[in-house]
Structure 1
Amino acid sequence: MRTQVAIIGAGPAGLLLSHLLERRGIDAVVLESRDRAHCERRQRAGMLEQGTVDVLRAAGAGERLDREGLTHHGLELRFGGAGHRIALSELTGGRTVTIYAQTEIVKDLIALSPEGRIRFEAEVLEVDPASPRVTYRENGVLRTLDCDLVAGCDGFHGVSRAAVPRAKVFERDYPFAWLGVLADVPPSTEELVYCHHDRGFALHSLRSPEVSRLYLQVSPDEELAAWPDERIWSELRTRFATRDGWTLKDGPIREKAITPMRSFVTEPMRHDNLFLAGDAAHIVPPTGAKGLNLAVSDVTALASAIAARYEGGSSALLDGYSSARLRRVWRAEHFSYWMTTLLHTDHSADAFARRLQLSHLEYVVSSKAAATTLAENYVGFAHDGP
């Protein structure tokens, strides 16, 4: 088989890239090791930057997003028993964020894909960036896909990252994890609440008007069995409690999982004809909600670079892809690190460090300049692309 662009991975990054290329008349094939049902139920982030929403709309994948997505103009930082609103739209010239689950984006993009573009249950075994060629197993048969370019959108554990020789790796593990729950209960808030508490961080998010997404800071070695539903709700009520008597609604918990937190970047994001995007190249702690948005920004820029090669014969954007993307990646890495250390409780820290953290929180909510820095990073910057 032959195509112009081989895309490894049918997550949001790979699917969106294939769709952006198709709209420019460029052939692409997506190879995905899992089946369609698995791809459509993988739970991941659900906060979309303004730029991500704009790209999905321009790609023709915005109909259900506009109908069901929850647009937010602000968020709340809560600490010391009091809430402080960060007016995102007022501080960023009207930009917003939208709550819309990654699973729904995947469903929308798969539904838009023509027959044969996505090959599910096609396990990629090897990538040859020089040829370029991808070897994969489908229905027990070894096959090869020859192409001009390869886009590695197959995540941290995929084969693409390993195909970049002599890569530099930068990483940091954090001394805490998130216990995340999906609960069948209407949200207790209209905007996200990021809460700092002596017992640990908590986050109240939304999935829909009927479903809430909530998180608790726990130890990375915490056992899920140690957290029955009632303990989760009790701890959430304690951390979210305010002096004015704010009430947290509770209800049946549908799903729960513990996710360690880490930062990771691999450099470069290109080797020969292989280009990395999304989690294959970088991971951020979820506090800043940058993971999915950064992946969308990657493939939007990559689609423009590939189109420039085929439409105008120029490889300049492809040649500059890695360096340009890494500048954006490190900005997102810093913001995610900053939000994480600002809001989480390091139980090994001394009293001096705790007071510094509280002082920083008070500065962010009392200074327009500091609040603007948070707001413009949170809503995101314009994506580079078509």
Structure 2
Amino acid sequence: MSDRVSPRLRAHLTSVKEDLMTGVSFMIPFVTIGGICLALAFMLASLPETIFGIPTPGAGTSTRTVFEDTGTFAWYLAQIGDLGLTIMIPILGGYIAYAIADKPGLAPGFLLSWAIQQEAIIAAAGQVIGFDADGAVAGFLGAIVAGLLAGYVARWLKGRSVPSAVQPMMPILVIPVVTTLFLAPIVIFGLGVPIAIVDDALTTTLRGMEGTNAVLLGAILGGMMAVDMGGPINKVAYVFGTVLVADQIFAPMAAVMLGGMVPPLGLALSNFIAPQKYAAEMYENAKAAVPLGLSFVTEGAIPYAAADPLRVIPSAILGSATAGAVALWLGVTMPAPHGGVFVMFLSNSFLLFLGCLALGTTITATTATLIKPDYHERVAGAEPAQTSN
């Protein structure tokens, strides 16, 4: 019995990996465009108002206010960048569903993944069960689950026998609508609200740690930034750091920023030094991940995490947690809530800040490189399972 089940399970897992890679491959251009535009926005915002009396492209804004200074060139770039990095999450979920069920799965996967990124929807769902879910979203991990569910339900519906008069409407009307309506409450209440509850618990825990063990707090904040890379756990750590910045407490923000910069930089470095560990298309993502990481945009690591979460996420957490812990141990501070290397000179020691960044990046790159098998070996290892069916 086990001999029959094992190949079937391996074949299914291989199929899931292929579905995830399809979603990742469609997501990468959005990551690239969004990340480069956002990096350019912060770079321009870091320029002085004038050089030799000539206004610079960054005039009228700063790295702290680039998203608020409406109408400036840097603001336009920041808006485009933010749109790219926002829409990439439903793109991931949508094309995972597309890989499973073809066109009937695309719209449900996209819409469901998008719905659980909406704070208002999750907050309203939380109110239904009497929980304050304000500010919670499901992140890229939620989008992966939503995409898989949408794909499997749509594929199941495709296999149903229906009257010939209904058949033409199945792929464009019946399957997308039924899939979306059936799964909407499941993903909103089953993914969104539980994540909000976890958010609340994490926030309470972090507030309880404030002022206690700085090294442990730095490790936790840094590690949280790498868990879901822009998702709810990441956001809890980020909001915690920014709230303390408003209270003139700057050390935790250093751990948060470093923790968010390490994953894309570390994984890009691993991709550069060991390209055989990654799919060929990931090399282009590595080029985009560098400016993303330098700009404190953790989402640059999502394509890596989505393609191989069991190896990539622990590698990222280890590097980010180390960088955060060492930063707080050394007393590094960061008064700016965003900007990455473009605001590092605001730190009380930008050299220590860079040193912690280099340390975390190296640890993530080394760990990922060591624990990931060669990509062609993973593919070859799955072939017997596929041929056995």
TM-score range, shorter chain: under 0.3
* Structure with greater proportional strand content: 1
- Greater relative CO, 1 or 2 (CA 8 Å, sep 6+): 1
State the TM-score, normalizing by the size of structure 1. Answer: 0.26
* Structure with greater proportional helix content: 2
State the TM-score, normalizing by the size of structure 2. Answer: 0.26
